[in-house]
Amino acid sequence: MEVDENGFIERRIINGMKKRKKRKSIAEDDENCYWRVQYERYKNKLLHTGLFENVLSSLIIAMHDKLPQLSVSSADVVCYGLGAFYECKDALCQLVLLELLCENAMFSGKKWIFDPIFSDVEKNILVSKGWTLIAENERGLRLASVPTLFYMPHCERELYNNVLYANRHSTFLNLVFFGNSFKVMSDSVVEENENLTTFRYLLNASQLAKELPLSNTSSFGEAFYATCIQYFVSAYLSISQTQIFCDAVMIATFLVRSLWQVSLRCMHALSSKTQEVLRPSSLIITNRRFLPKPGPNIQYKFDLTPLKCMPYTHKPIKIRRLGGRNPETGKKVNQRVGGGYKFDWLWISFRRIGPTDGTFYEEKVIEVRRDGIQTAFIALVAGTRGRRWILATENMKAGDVIKTSCHLPRILIKAEEGDSWPVGALVPGTVVNSVELYPGCPDERILAKNAGTSVIIQKRVDNRVVILLPNKHELRILPECMATVGRLSNVNRNKEHWGSMNMKRRMGIRQGSGLWHRKDGYCGRKIHPLPPAKIVDGPPGPVPENYSVSLNKRHMNALFVSFCSCSVRHTVRFGMHLKKEKLKRAAQSVEINPKEEIILQAPYDNIKIIEINAFNHSDFHILYKFRTNRPDGIQISPVYGYIKPGDGEIFAVEFLPITGIPPFTDRCTLHCVALPKNYSASTRPRDMWKKPVVKVMAAERKVIRITYLNEAGHLYPKSVEAVYDDRDDD
């Protein structure tokens, strides 16, 4: 300190403010780690709410008769699909309950755990708590030689089916499950029209397993929602019985459906024949219910060809009105279009384009008004690029500022209504409109443009965004497709009362004939399952060329012979979508792993299960069947089935024990045939192999050799050879 001339003490501060001590992060301080605090909190909560006592008492009931019979003091524990407990609270709560159960003497055996999403920190925590990490993904194919608790809350039903498959013989009585209900999963398989053969072990277990429901689970959110404890007390059905049951259900369904279709065809044929006889005598009026369905209704309201060669303008444009006539031929095509008031035609900009560098293009809403052409309200916006008309959202008003950006951020955003973003930048559950079907698509390909309509962003799958359309169908589009946040305005448009047909004539809508009634309820209510999500990468391809072949009616079906008094010729149109060479290349694109050889050490006393993966790289459904030259010693599941385009299939090959010298020439053969696109994959795969379209095409064969090695690692001599038999046993 120094004293100046005026007697004041001068202080100097060196290097500004005093530096603060650097705090350790939560991850660095092991004692005060956040997840440990949550761990203790959930532990106390489980002990005080009574859920742990309920689970433990139920497990004691399930394990009561299993341990004394096998002279085992404790049971093993296997945990699948726990999740990232370091970040997810539900997964942490499930881990706490599992640790409390393992502290009991009944579950003090070996502890195994696997989840492919475990981080290094989570793996270290599990190892420190005494868990053994499963090195490879065994897909649930673990044999339970001792009583084992499979801890699998909220796992996929395919994983449950694999566990039951691996223990389908004599070890199923050792299984005790903590997870989802077999009955609920079986009901979902039937409701979603899944292949019953694929989930036959799960369907069988739902009839034999005994369930012990849990209580006091509501206070833990979704961690233990719809979970229960399941175990087996009776003998398991064998594979043959299960297969016979599934085949019987499929055959009965096929026969009932076939009889129903034949009866409908006979009814329509009788009606048409009766009309042919009675129409010349004027004794019958044609029934509207048997009229053909009308084709696509092309509007032909305005001639928009001049807009292709002129710049955009927000001012009203004079457009030639077509009145339902084809602009090229001048003929009247649409009888329900014509007349009405003449409105100002305003050029609507359905697509909004912004910068891609992370900045925004801002526009201000000047006016929101009703339009005579568009069903939704339109808004006039102004920005640095000028003015333009856009579709107004539900809550848009004059004075609002809207933003547009084409940037795809790493973190999903929750945008405000009226802003325009790519669908890949918005969080799931966002309601959007004016969605591009693919980047740069024309205006007629943009989705959700009518009043009150919207599209919901569902999730992200394989670098594509799944959106839910107003008709409940799903599409998988590219994340670069632009969309506007919010629902379109004029929500009550469909509830407006026209009053009379004269009001429709003023709007340019003429009265129809009244013969065709869509969905009038005459044939009952038709409930069809929703199709899978369609992948859209670009504009649709060219329409395949159609070939017409004229056939005699006597050659078509024996059911119509009795109705034909003379030679009546019908024209059957069918699409020749693909050639035989293209289908053959599609079958050759199926890739299997392992490709050529499987090496086993023999003899062996236990059953060996090896997985074979097949992937379809083509755009067609692949019909397959798996054969082996020694079916009494090698069993394959599944044997028949389809592989969807861009999808795969996992085959489980079971090698029964070999005591003597193994056969030298064992092999497994995968027969593949690509189906044309006009053939449905809903037919039973085993029956599809008998159809002429499959018999004509030569099946592509993928052969895998089975090589046996002795204890020294050398090949066996060719003393015993198996006989190849690839003939179909259909």
Averaged pLDDT, 416-422: 94
Could you tell me what percentage of the chain is helix, strand and coil, using 3-state DSSP and rounding each to the nearest 5?
25, 25, 50
Residue with more model confidence, 171 or 300: 300
Averaged pLDDT, 666-682: 80
Most confident among 170-184, 204-218, 471-485 (mean pLDDT)? 471-485
Question: Residue type at 347?
Answer: W
Kindly tell me if the per-residue pLDDT of 556 is higher than 60.
no
| Residue 110 banded pLDDT, cuts 50, 70, 90 | confident
Q: Which two tokens stand for residue 381?
A: 């916006």
pLDDT of residue 563: 42
Question: Residue type at 644?
Answer: K
CB of 413 closer than 8 Å to CB of 430? no
Helix (H) / strand (E) containing 364:
strand 361-369
For 649-665, what is the HEC assignment?
EEEEEEECCECCCCCCC
Number of DSSP helices (H) and strands (E) in the chain, helices first: 14, 31
pLDDT of residue 170: 63
Most confident among 30-34, 663-667, 673-677 (mean pLDDT)? 673-677
The widest CA-to-CA distance across the chain, in whole angstroms, is 133
Averaged pLDDT, 388-401: 94
> Over the stretch 518-531, which tens digit does the pLDDT of each residue have?
666 665 666 778 88
Pairwise CA distance, residues 418 & 486, whole Å = 6
Q: Which residue has the tokens 């694109």?
A: 589
CB of 197 closer than 8 Å to CB of 638? yes
| Residue 383 banded pLDDT, cuts 50, 70, 90 | very high
Beta-carbon contacts of 380 under 8 Å, excluding residues fewer than 6 positions away, are: 314, 365, 366, 367, 368, 369, 387, 388, 389
pLDDT of residue 718: 52
What is the separation of C-alpha 619 from the centre of its chain, rounded to a whole number of angstroms? 17
Kindly tell me if the per-residue pLDDT of 559 is higher than 60.
no
* Range with the poorest average pLDDT among 141-155, 198-212, 707-721: 707-721
Pairwise CA distance, residues 444 & 350, whole Å = 10
Tell me which DSSP letter residue 589 carries.
Answer: T
Averaged pLDDT, 469-480: 92
Instruction: Output the CATH code of domain 34-237.
Output: 3.40.50
Question: Residues of the chain with pLDDT > 70: what percent?
Answer: 74
CB of 101 closer than 8 Å to CB of 120? no
Averaged pLDDT, 254-283: 53
Q: Which two tokens stand for residue 394?
A: 């539900």
pLDDT of residue 185: 85
pLDDT of residue 551: 46
Pairwise CA distance, residues 10 & 22, whole Å = 31
| Residue 391 banded pLDDT, cuts 50, 70, 90 | very high
Helix (H) / strand (E) containing 152:
strand 148-152
CB of 346 closer than 8 Å to CB of 314? yes
Q: Which fold does the domain 580-709 belong to in CATH?
A: Immunoglobulin-like (2.60.40)
Helix (H) / strand (E) containing 465:
strand 464-468
Pairwise CA distance, residues 67 & 110, whole Å = 15
> Over the stretch 577-629, which tens digit does the pLDDT of each residue have?
445 777 888 888 888 888 778 888 777 777 788 888 888 888 888 889 888 88
> What sections of 526-659 are H helices per DSSP?
553-556, 580-588
Closest CA to 360 of 412, 394, 398, 409: 409
Closest CA to 679 of 550, 563, 602, 577: 577
Tell me which DSSP letter residue 238 carries.
Answer: P
Beta-carbon contacts of 439 under 8 Å, excluding residues fewer than 6 positions away, are: 478, 480, 481, 482
Pairwise CA distance, residues 492 & 489, whole Å = 9
Q: Which residue has the tokens 């019908």?
A: 570
| Residue 65 banded pLDDT, cuts 50, 70, 90 | low
Pairwise CA distance, residues 730 & 671, whole Å = 14
Averaged pLDDT, 204-214: 82
Pairwise CA distance, residues 96 & 57, whole Å = 17
Averaged pLDDT, 288-315: 75
CB of 420 closer than 8 Å to CB of 484? yes
Averaged pLDDT, 704-713: 79
Residue with more model confidence, 546 or 259: 259
Closest CA to 641 of 85, 49, 303, 194: 194
* Range with the poorest average pLDDT among 88-97, 114-123, 273-282, 541-550: 273-282
3-state SS, residue 141: coil
> Over the stretch 312-360, which tens digit does the pLDDT of each residue have?
999 999 888 888 888 888 888 888 888 888 888 899 999 899 999 989 9
Q: Which residue has the tokens 């609920």?
A: 184
Pairwise CA distance, residues 87 & 98, whole Å = 17
pLDDT of residue 708: 81
Residue 158 dihedral angles phi and psi, to the nearest 5°: -65, -35
Question: Residues of the chain with pLDDT > 90: what percent?
Answer: 18
Kindly tell me if the per-residue pLDDT of 34 is higher than 50.
yes
Pairwise CA distance, residues 632 & 63, whole Å = 35
* Range with the poorest average pLDDT among 17-26, 323-332, 453-462, 676-685: 17-26
| Residues forming beta bridges with residue 546, ordered by sequence position | 575
What is the separation of C-alpha 626 from the centre of its chain, rounded to a whole number of angstroms? 26
Does the domain made of 348-494 have the CATH classification 2.30.30.30?
A: yes
Pairwise CA distance, residues 697 & 69, whole Å = 56
| Residue 187 banded pLDDT, cuts 50, 70, 90 | confident
